[in-house]
Amino acid sequence: MDFSLSGEQRQIRDTVAEFVDEEVVPRAAEIDETDEFPADLIDEMADLGLMGMPFPVEYEGAGLDYHSYAIGLSEIARGSGGLGTVVAAHTSLAGNMLYEFGDERQKEEYLTALNTGEDIGAFALSEAEAGSDVPAMSTTATADGDGYVVDGGKLWISNGSVADTVTLFAKTDPDAGRKGISAFVVRPEEDDGFVVEGTEDKLGDKGCPTAELRFDDMWIPEERRLGEEGEGFVQALKTLNGGRITIAARSVGIARAALDEATDYAQEREQFDRPISDFQAIQHKLADMDTKVRAAELLMHEAADLKMRGEDFIKEAAQAKLYASEISREVANEGIQIHGGYGYTKDFPAERFYRDAKLSEIYEGTSEVLRNTIAQQLLDE
């Protein structure tokens, strides 16, 4: 079993890390304060090929393996948790829906634009009464000539207010339960009836707009349906399963940032005439933090490896996301503790890491739902 990075993977890590250190980290506090979508940073990442990392070059993607993608996303999230979510929702959700379930024309037209960064993607699944319970959604897509009329609304949509391409889930057969859900490509600038109701004022994850969307008699052509009618529920689950690897990557990046900051602070902060890093209590905290981050990285890469091999990775992706998200919050919490009173202020980024980390335990499968998934997979083995 080889745990070493290939030359290409090291190059990806180093390239993204250099960009993050030079461009993202100096802006992170500002992004957190203003909560403005950093379009200029997105453009720079597009120029580096970071908006379509895991997709083939024939669609203007970077053609990277999933290990490299996870490494790159982790580095982005190390600089800004919100920016990590922007890329994850754009790539793992919207982009992957098009890559896995779109026809050739849809890939060439929509996926290519996402990969180049010309367009931003979003994934519209959740509703007020349909979070973890996807079949409870009420948004409908009613057949109308050579298209569909969509009515309803979505909540918690990352990138929703800035997206050029939205993969939308709606019921084409309201009486068929999960077998009555279909997926579509929506183009907000083209489709009359697409309304952004507003964006959420969140605890963290700043810079990634989380929108409430409404669809009022929005007509979309049949050619923008992804796959066949009734396949949307399965498409959503498969997409979210892969997306959990990248939320694990986001979590690892935030945890690494919290650990690095705490380590530096512990070596600089003096009490009783010596650095606090000399005290065993602080050393043990740092040791536990580093061990948790390493364990999360290994779970992340195990799930990525199975995905690349074409093997089942439902349990492993759930475990990676569950563990990485929880240790990210734990590591960030210990980072605040090491900073003491300063950790509770915005003079240091420790408190931002904590706020950004918490989201990973909620979206793309709550910790409670993931434990159910892991247990079901375990019992079925």
Sign of CA dihedral 352, 354, 360, 362: negative
- The span from the CA of 296 to the CA of 301, in Å, is 9
Q: Is residue 229 flagged as an active site residue?
A: no
Contact 99, 227 (CB under 8 A): no
- Identify which of 124, 16, 1 has the alpha carbon closest to the alpha carbon of residue 70: 16
Residue tagged active-site, from 75, 118, 364, 381: 364
Q: Which residues are catalytically annotated?
A: 364
